[in-house]
Structure 1
Amino acid sequence: MFQTTRRATLFSLALMAALPALPAMAKDAAPKWIPTWYASPEPSGVDVKIADKTLRQIVRISAGGSSVRLRLSNAYGAAPLKLEDIRVAKRLTGSRIDPASDNAVTFNGRATVTIAPGAYVLSDPLPLKVAADSDLAISLYVPEAPLATVHDIQRGVFYVADGRTSRAAELPEAKTDIGIGNAFPWLAEVEVSGSPAKAALITFGDSITDGYGITPDQGRTWPELLSRRLHEANIPLSVVNAGLSGNRLLHHGAWARFGEGGLSRFDRDVLAQPNASAVIVLIGINDLGHAQGPGSEGYVSADDLIDGLSQTAARAHERGLKIYAATMTPFRDTVFENYFSEDKEKSRQAINAWIRQQTVFDGVIDFEKAVEDPARPGHLRTEYDVGDHLHPNDAGVAAMAAVIPLGLFK
């Protein structure tokens, strides 16, 4: 009896000692995927189709890694979307790629993917060593498809050619408009594994974040400039841009292309990101500007926007993310008709005053002070103005990136 009991005890102890090793082995074996480039999907607002075309989108990634995968979106499509011959390569110049780095992207081992209406797909991992702050070329062939799901602002550059030419070292036709203006379709995210980056920092906002008016294909948006500052400071974060031109916090866009309202898309564009650890929120100026006054459609008060911003903090904290609030930048005398009024300016000032003294966020970034003309309160500095008295130019967003305290992320 004693021997039997002793054997059972030894067996139980051995089993208990072995069990913790099993999940640890599985955890170590699983790759950690970090978003390195992002473009929030939005509806195109136009009835346009393309057929028998190759598209090549250039993206500047934030973090490097040893493997890559793509996330494609049919978020606003009403029918299945079929894409073929999808490839990733390192970009040299223009539409030219490094052929030695060119690789086919597969989905469950297949070179063709069909994305259900409203859905996303993740590609299979692709072993490809990529460097931080470098350009990738994502190419794909479109047999025929409506351009229902797009992203409106070009931070990089987009090329299109007739026929099936995804493998071409350089696309012969450098047309960049396929009937949706400056927009590009379907590519939502690039992720890396084996990266020095340990987590992702999401920048969430409107056109000032997305890059309206900024010189494209140069890595000059404020999130891209922040990414380089973090790298130089050896802070292991990837920075991805979840800005949407024209976006509002409390209502959907005044035009379809301006996208779903910030609170509506916050879960998708921030909370659902893999390995996100923090978010910077700069949004609200379009809520003020696109409304015509009390009682008008879409009107919001300063208190309404304060409540909405507080909700982003509560929802981020619920998921364990740090969240930082940025003050809204000046817009007095903007050229956009009926966008500015003295009442709207009072609301902006009240919201900024609240942001500076509130305790619901983990920190404050004072973009207003970075770009406001000290001699003309409420105005952008002339040297920071893209020309519409609303959007900062290259120098303006550089000033914004420069005032972000890196200590927030250490």
Structure 2
Amino acid sequence: MKPSNQPVRPPERRVFLKTLSGAAFAASALFGCASFDTPPSKPHATWTASPSDYNAVPSTTGVALIPATFTDTTLRQTMTTSLGGDRVRVRFSHLFGKSTLRIDGAHIAGSAGGAAIEPASDRPITVAGQPSFSVPAGSERWSDPVALGLPANASVAVSIYVSGATPVTTYHALGRQTTYVANGNQLRAATVAAASTQQSYYWISGIDVYSRQNANVLVAFGDSITDGFNSTVDASKRYPNVLARRFAAEATATPVSVVNAGISGNRVLADTAGPKGIGRFDRDVLGQSGVTHTIIMLGINDLGYCGRFGVAQCVSAEQVTAGLASMVAKAKERGVKVHLATLTPFKGAAFPGYYNDEAERKRQTVNAWIRGNAGVDGIVDFDLALQDPADPQRLRPAWDSGDHLHPNDAGYEAMGNAVDLSRFR
């Protein structure tokens, strides 16, 4: 998926105004200063967006992306968190940068929808006590804890301001969430006057909360089906969102945070869209704060790229399962419980050459290995959950987004509902 490259300083501005309704966050009720009568517990991941190199040339296309640069720009980015807590911190990522990233200011607040925030909840973000800070090339930095209490499944807005010419390097392409690109320093604006919009996340790869409760953290690791391709923009309909809401609705002693480490187009064995799965697993799963569990659903692109992009992209089912096994072993070494998810039906996939009989045979082999794997803590059978009873190699029509590979909102809901919550308590 190629990101859009809209000008950051067009001659006209569009002002996005949104009337707040009862559904909008009331800062006094949902967001507020944390109480520090007792020390907060260790941080837990509540939102993630796995980083990719914006300027990487996908080996399957050979087409270079147009470089993008932000200058004197505020980026207001909205995230749906999972676990609530007493304080928050934000992870700034410059993993794929070639020179130091300078951020001249950042704020976090409850989102009031669209480009608006709840002003009473607005807080400045500092790093090492400084409101302006740098992130060295190839690294990530956590902010200082921010005194902002969050409920579970909150919508928050993180605004970043860069004054000088700042090339885009590290980003998450498929945000499925509108990012508002505004001229000038609008960090404190109740509603930014957006010059343009994007649907990617820039330079932010995680949000943690500090909670006094013991909590589990479940990382959903995968490709576009985990990332929510073709789900409704700004609606948080991805299967990990569905799963997070299910956990939050259950009154139990152990809350569960669900974070999304999917990258659209990702593969187990090769760098194409984002770093390969076996290469990013340590950072994007095992590196999440408080991680206790993971669901791994990855491999369909390893199979589909063979017919779509040629023999150089072909791998065997055994190579895919060996890659999955290596990730399982890493997780087990760290004491993280692993659930493997079967690869979902894709007969008739709309991308030329992606589906063929050989790719389907490989999918069946991979799924048989997953279902028979006694070395993991559980299996999530998304294949069975989504298949058409009349033709099990196809997605159920009511849950097909139209490309015969990715579910629609109802399909993602079916995926989230197919997970046995008791296995993650």
TM-score when scaled to structure 2?
0.86
Could you tell me how far apart the structure 2 residues matched to 1:189 and 1:334 are? 32
The reply to whether residue 35 of structure 1 matches residue 45 of structure 2 is yes
Counterpart-to-counterpart distance in 2, 1:183 and 1:126: 24
Contact 2:178 2:200 in 1 (8 A): no
| Matched letter for residue 64 of structure 1 | G
Partner of 1:112: 132
CA contact (8 A) 1:63 1:196 kept: no
Given the alignment, which residue of 54, 68, 71 partners 2:91?
71
Structure 1 residues 30 and 349, CA, compared in 2 at 3 Å: closer, same or farther? same
Aligned to 1:388: 403
Alignment correspondent of 1:166: 187
- The answer as to whether partners of 1:310 and 1:360 remain within 8 angstroms in 2 is no
Q: CA deviation at 1:31?
A: 3.6
**C-alpha deviation, 1:353, in angstroms:** 1.3
Deviations 1:346-379 (A, max 9, x none): 0101111111111121100000111100101200
Residues 146-202 of structure 1, C-alpha deviation per residue, up to 9 Å, x if partnerless?
01111011233211110011110001126213xxxx322101101000254513110
More helix by share: 1
Q: Which moved more, 1:366-375 or 1:224-233?
A: 224-233
Q: CA deviation at 1:93?
A: 1.9
Structure 1 CA distance for aligned equivalents of residues 71 and 118 of structure 2: 27
In structure 2, do the counterparts of structure 1 residues 211 and 361 end up closer, same or farther at CA, with 3 Å as the change threshold?
Answer: same
- Work out the percentage of aligned pairs sharing the same amino acid: 40
Report the counterpart of residue 335 of structure 2 in structure 1: 320
Cα deviation for residue 293 of structure 1 reads 9.0
Cα shift readout 1:116-143 (whole Å, capped 9, x = no counterpart)? 1011011011111111111001001011
- Evaluate the alpha carbon distance shift between residue 294 and residue 171 of structure 1 in structure 2; reply closer, same or farther with a 3 A threshold: closer
8 Å CA contact 1:65, 1:193 repeated in 2? yes
2:165 is the alignment partner of 1:150: no
- After TM superposition, which residue ranges in structure 1, 4 or more long, deviate above 4 angstroms? none
- State the partner residue of 2:78: 58
Structure 2 unaligned runs (5+)? 1-37, 56-64
Deviation at 1:108, TM superposition (A): 1.0
| Distance of aligned partners of 1:157 and 1:295 in 2 relative to their CA distance in 1, 3 Å threshold | closer
Matched, 1:245 2:245: no
Residue type of the partner of 1:168?
A
C-alpha distance in 2 between matches for 1:318 and 1:331: 33
Q: Distance in 1 between matches of 2:201 and 2:131?
A: 21
Native 8 Å contact 1:34 1:195 kept in 2? no
CA distance in 1, matches of 2:216, 2:234: 25
Q: Distance in 1 between matches of 2:368 and 2:186?
A: 54
Are the equivalent residues in 2 in contact too, given 1:63–1:197 (CA < 8 A)?
Answer: no
Matches within 5 A, 1:5-404: 29=39, 31-45=41-55, 46=65, 47-143=67-163, 144-173=165-194, 175-177=196-198, 182-194=199-211, 196=213, 198-233=215-250, 234=252, 235-253=254-272, 258-292=273-307, 296-404=311-419
Amino acid at match of 2:186: T
C-alpha distance in 1 between matches for 2:116 and 2:187: 11
Query: What amino acid is aligned across from residue 248 of structure 2 in structure 1?
Result: H
Q: What secondary structure sits across from 1:171 in the alignment?
A: coil
- Structure 1, unpaired ranges of 5+: 1-27
**Using the alignment, how far apart are the partners of 1:204 and 1:295 within structure 2?**
26
Q: Report the 3-state secondary structure (helix = DSSP H, G, I; strand = E; otherwise coil) of the residue aligned with 2:182.
A: strand
Q: Which one has a bigger Cα radius of gyration?
A: 1
Which residue number corresponds to residue 16 of structure 2?
A: none
CA–CA separation in structure 2 for the residues paired with 1:33 and 1:318:
22
Structure 1's 293 and 190: CA in aligned 2 closer, same or farther, altered over 3 A?
closer
Question: In structure 2, how many angstroms separate the alpha carbons of the residues matched to 1:385 and 1:293?
Answer: 21
Q: 1:287-327 CA deviation, whole Å, 9 max, x = no partner?
A: 00112399921311111111111111111000000000000
SS in 1 for 2:116: coil
Do 2:216 and 2:424's aligned partners in 1 also have CA atoms closer than 8 Å? no
2:135 and 2:76 map into 1 onto residues whose CA distance is 19
The Cα shift of 1:30 comes to: 6.7
**SS of residue in 2 equivalent to 1:230:** helix
CA contact (8 A) 1:63 1:195 kept: no
